[in-house]
Amino acid sequence: MKLTIERGALLRALAHVQGVVERRNTIPILSNVQLAAEDGRLSLTATDLDIAVVEAIGAEIDQAGGTTAPAHTLFDIVRKLPDGAQVQLTHHDNRLAVKSGRSTFALACLPRDDFPVMAEGETPVSFAVSAPDLKRLIDRVRFAISTEETRYYLNGIYLHATEDGGVKLLRAVATDGHRLARIDLPLPAGAAALSGVIVPRKTVGELRKLLDEATGDVTIGVGESKVRFAFDDVVLTSKLIDATYPEYERVIPTQNDKLLEVDAKPFAVAVDRVSTISSEKSRAVKLTLEKDRLTLSATSPENGSATEELAARYPAKSLEIGFNSRYLMDIAQQIDGETARFLLADAGAPTVIRDAGDDSVLYVLMPMRV
């Protein structure tokens, strides 16, 4: 294999694929990126056996062929080369020579035949979502994905087709048992048969990074055990979490009759300020609701106390309720509109939080004793 490629294009592709490569690997080949050169294209592939990312870029191919090279080392070399440089890659005798200007590097390679191939399988459900819509979908819910490995069925985003009030929707849900995030998009053509899949947390993170540079639509193919996202010159294939997602609808209260409306950005900032006092362990902040007034407070035996008053629209009877301040801020920061809308019942019941300017998003937050 021998080829020449522009440094910027190679760096961008390496940055995209090397994210799935774990820093510590018990299987040496998984530390490598596969390089395959033919027909004026260089194809780069990386995998951790659960996710595979493939990206193809234009290159001047002098000799077709392929090999594998250490992903992070190759990325660091290319990153440190000057902007606009031409990079020559030559594979010979289990060595990859990387040459640019007066710099030459020789990297140890492993046989391309040993590189694992993730079988894609059939994807009977296929539909397209615009890159901005998919970014928004991920951003609105991923903070609520559980990190508890024992509850592995919550370690991802649950994606399914549903119907609400006669409107067909593509819905994404994430929950860790303390909070729940849900977002709806109009159902894309071809997605009606999507009965429900759980996309793993790492896949969501890698996909979100790739979407920053995406243009146009993302084609999503869903099979029995895998999901594929294809856009521009990138294809990400991932295993799905093999589990049944809980009946999340049962934890979304429908009878909460107390409405609090507060300016979203000042509220998020105030929660952040007051929570400075709360203990690291509980991170508790108390909301005291009185007619058209909201008082945030936190106390800690070690740090003292803090209170802050905010103007609010609250016509119901007085109520005190406590929340984990970190969870409360995570939700408040997702609200793009000017007003956050809280639907409450009492101090022990889950609270529904909505963006007054966006009906497609819903959050549920469990209270805590303060």
**Rounded to an integer, what distance in angstroms lies between the CA atom of residue 316 and that of residue 191?**
42
Task: Please enumerate in sequence order all residues whose Cβ is within 8 A of that of 87, keeping only pairs 6 or more positions apart, or say none.
Answer: 4, 5, 6, 7, 10, 78, 81, 98, 99, 100
Residue 119 belongs to some domain of the structure: no
19: three-class secondary structure by DSSP: coil
**215: confidence class by pLDDT, cuts 50, 70, 90:** confident
For residues 246 and 257, state if they share a domain: no
- Residues 127-141: what's their mean pLDDT? 96
For residues 284 and 345, state if they share a domain: yes
In this prediction, residue 296 carries a pLDDT of: 96
For residues 262 and 246, state if they share a domain: no
- Residues 202-221: what's their mean pLDDT? 95
**Rounded to an integer, what distance in angstroms lies between the CA atom of residue 332 and that of residue 328?**
6
Residue 319 belongs to some domain of the structure: yes
Query: What's the distance, CA 89 to chain centroid?
Result: 33
Q: Among 36-45, 152-161, 194-203, 298-307, whose mean pLDDT is lowest?
A: 298-307
Q: Which helix (H) or strand (E) holds 271?
A: helix 264-274
What single-letter amino acid sits at 136?
R
Q: CB of 328 within 8 A of CB of 273?
A: no
DSSP string, 276-300: TTS-TTT-EEEEEEETTEEEEEEEE
- Residues 87-113: what's their mean pLDDT? 96
pLDDT of 78 higher than 90: yes
Strands 217-222 and 197-200: unpaired
In this prediction, residue 114 carries a pLDDT of: 94
Domain boundary among 202, 232, 250: 250
String of b and e for 190-221 (b: at least 16 CB within 10 Å)? ebeebeebbbbbbbbbbbeebbeebeebbbbb
pLDDT of 116 higher than 80: yes
Query: What's the distance, CA 22 to chain centroid?
Result: 17
Q: What is the CATH number of the domain that holds 317?
A: 3.10.150.10
Task: Please enumerate in sequence order all residues whose Cβ is within 8 A of that of 14, keeping only pairs 6 or more positions apart, or say none.
Answer: 33, 44, 71, 74, 75, 78
For residues 220 and 272, state if they share a domain: no
Residue 217 belongs to some domain of the structure: yes
Residue 182 belongs to some domain of the structure: yes
pLDDT of 279 higher than 90: no
For residues 98 and 197, state if they share a domain: no
Rounded to a whole number of angstroms, the CA Rg of the chain reads: 25
The tokens describing 23, both together, are 């820093």
237-262 pLDDT, tens per residue? Answer: 999 999 999 999 999 999 999 999 99
**185: confidence class by pLDDT, cuts 50, 70, 90:** very high
- Sign of torsion, CA 263 260 351 244? negative
For residues 142 and 241, state if they share a domain: yes
Residue 120 belongs to some domain of the structure: no
**Rounded to an integer, what distance in angstroms lies between the CA atom of residue 335 and that of residue 315?**
22
pTM score, whole prediction: 0.93
| 313 CB-side CA count, 13 A | 11
Task: Please enumerate in sequence order all residues whose Cβ is within 8 A of that of 318, keeping only pairs 6 or more positions apart, or say none.
Answer: 288, 289, 290, 291
For residues 145 and 239, state if they share a domain: yes
273: three-class secondary structure by DSSP: helix
For residues 237 and 265, state if they share a domain: no
In this prediction, residue 74 carries a pLDDT of: 97
What is the domain count for the chain? 3
For residues 173 and 108, state if they share a domain: no
Q: State the chain's mean pLDDT as an integer.
A: 95
In this prediction, residue 123 carries a pLDDT of: 87
Domain boundary among 58, 82, 114: 114
**Rounded to an integer, what distance in angstroms lies between the CA atom of residue 203 and that of residue 21?**
12
For residues 129 and 246, state if they share a domain: yes
**Rounded to an integer, what distance in angstroms lies between the CA atom of residue 156 and that of residue 204?**
8
Range of the domain at 353: 253-365
Length of the chain: 370
pLDDT of 369 higher than 90: no
Residue 96 belongs to some domain of the structure: yes
For residues 107 and 130, state if they share a domain: no
Q: What percent of the chain has pLDDT over 70?
A: 100
For residues 102 and 131, state if they share a domain: no
The tokens describing 3, both together, are 């080829």
Residue 260 belongs to some domain of the structure: yes
Domain boundary among 204, 221, 250: 250
53-70 pLDDT, tens per residue? Answer: 999 999 999 999 999 999
Residue 370 belongs to some domain of the structure: no
**81: confidence class by pLDDT, cuts 50, 70, 90:** very high
